[in-house]
Amino acid sequence: MTAKKLVLPRLGFWWVAAGILLIALGVIAAVRFTKGLGAVTNLSDPFPWGLWIGFDVLCGVGLAAGGFAIAAAVYVFHLEDFKPILRPTILTAFLGYALVIVALIFDLGKPWNIWHPIVMWNPHSVMFEVGWCVMLYTTVLFLEFLPAVLERFRLAKPLRILAKASPFLVILGVILSTLHQSSLGSLFLILPHKVHPLWYSPLLPVLFFVSAVAAGLAMTVVESWFSRRAFGRPIETALLARLSRTSVVVLALYLALRLRDLIARQALPTLFPLSLASWLFLAELILGVVVPMVALATAWVRSSPRRLAIFQGMVVLGFILNRLNVSITAVESATGYRYLPAIPEFLVTMGLVALGMLGFCAACKYFNVFPETQWREEEKWRTAPAASLAIDG
């Protein structure tokens, strides 16, 4: 309780910021749906995909990857000690997917036809696969989070049914996620002449999948850190450290795949002459992969939740940079067309992030996102330090 009181003033600023962003979201939506996409975006015939696809969709889906990774660890591999971070991770993933759908409603020219892939099939289209994955996996995530809602209303019978179905749901979720993460990379396979060779690769689906796993794990750690700051929750340092060891392996695998692919395609010489694209490529790979991989491999970094959050934060930022590079930088430098998002595009993106955070706070308030039963013991001896951290943070 003490922690909650002390946190409230900090939230004040964020409430105001979120309010302003939500109003902006409404105004931009009104303009967009009466005057067209051109009125609020810098999209054009040669550059039909922009920030909403590059960030809101590609990053939104990727950062939700923690959901399937942790669910698989707990339910498929029976690593039950990860259970305390399962629900917040599932919630993040569900909200991530819900926001991807909202972003699509903004971005699609005729969003009222969004259901068409259900009845009009073209299995040769990657976008068809993407559409189905979004629909099915959002449903799975909803069902995975549903127990928290059912508990709140004490509905025992559906809870029992869901508990029985959960291994099946989780396995289905892992398969759908694998398909979805990789298919977002496959989207770019059909435009070899429009994506710079530093990023175009037949391996794009594999690279997208592996980097999404790294980003999902990183996001889980970063989000635990923020949850503690916002809700005064004790942090599972040991768990996050173990998760980060896995991150090191995943990042190493990603780096090996990426370098192997770049060398095999003889793409590295295209770094020169050094251009903005080359620097963004280097930043993505060195700051987003190599540095955090080395850092997370050290016990010194893994022993402090703060340091974990910083270096996993770098993984998240590197991931975001990668997706923006593939969808914008690589296309810009291969086609010669320029694209800089318009201000409303930025505002919608920020508004959606705000909406996600509000959703997370609301869900935490009404549902049992951090299962108390598993925490109580630890909380007893951690409440005091947690509360003091919430003040200085």
Partner 1 sequence: MARGMLIDVTKCVGCGACVEACQQANGQPPHEARHFDQDTFTYLLDRGNDVYVRRLCMHCLNPACASACPIGALRKTAEGPVTYDPQRCMGCRYCMTACPFGVPTYEWFSPAPRVRKCEMCARRPQGPACAEACPTGATQAGFRDQLVAEAQRRIQEDPKTYYPYIYGLREAGGTSVLYIGPAEPEALGLPTHVGFEPLPQLTWRALKHVPDVVVFGGVLLSGFWWLTKRKEEVARHEGAHKSKEVNHDR
Asked whether the beta carbons of 6 and 391 are under 8 A apart, the reply is yes
CA distance 53 to 220: 23
Site stretch for partner 1 (CB under 8 A), options 12-20, 32-40, 274-282, 358-366: 32-40
By beta-carbon proximity to partner 1, the closer residue of 187 and 355 is 187
How many amino acids of this chain bind partner 1 (CB under 8 A)? 60
d(CA 40, CA 195): 25
CB 236 → partner 1: shortest distance, Å?
15
- Distance in angstroms (rounded) separating the CA atoms of residues 242 and 239: 5
d(CA 232, CA 219): 18
Among 27, 167, 249, 264, binds partner 1 (CB under 8 A): 167
Q: Quote the least distance from Cβ 333 to partner 1, whole Å.
A: 14
> DSSP E strands: which ranges in the chain?
none
Contacts of 274 (CB under 8 A, 6+ apart): none
- 116 vs 380, beta carbon nearer partner 1: 116
Is residue 49 near partner 1 by the rule CB under 8 A? yes
Site string for partner 1, 105-124 (x = CB under 8 A): ---xxxx-xx-xx--xxxxx
Three-class secondary structure assignment of 1-33: CHHHHHHHHHHHHHHHHHHHHHHHHHHHHHHHH
Interface residue with partner 1 among 102, 130, 140, 217 (CB under 8 A) is 130
**The residue to which tokens 């598993």 are assigned:** 374
Contact between 125 and partner 1 (CB under 8 A)? yes
Structure-token match 């996993």, residue found:
312
Question: Binding residue for partner 1 (CB under 8 A) from 39, 259, 268, 391?
Answer: 39
Read out DSSP for 232-246?
-----HHHHHHHHHH
Under rule CB under 8 A, residue 60 binds partner 1: no
Chain residues that interact with partner 1, rule: CB under 8 A? 33-39, 43-46, 48-49, 72, 75-81, 108-111, 113-114, 116-117, 120-131, 167, 171, 174-175, 178-179, 182-183, 186-187, 189-194, 202, 204-205
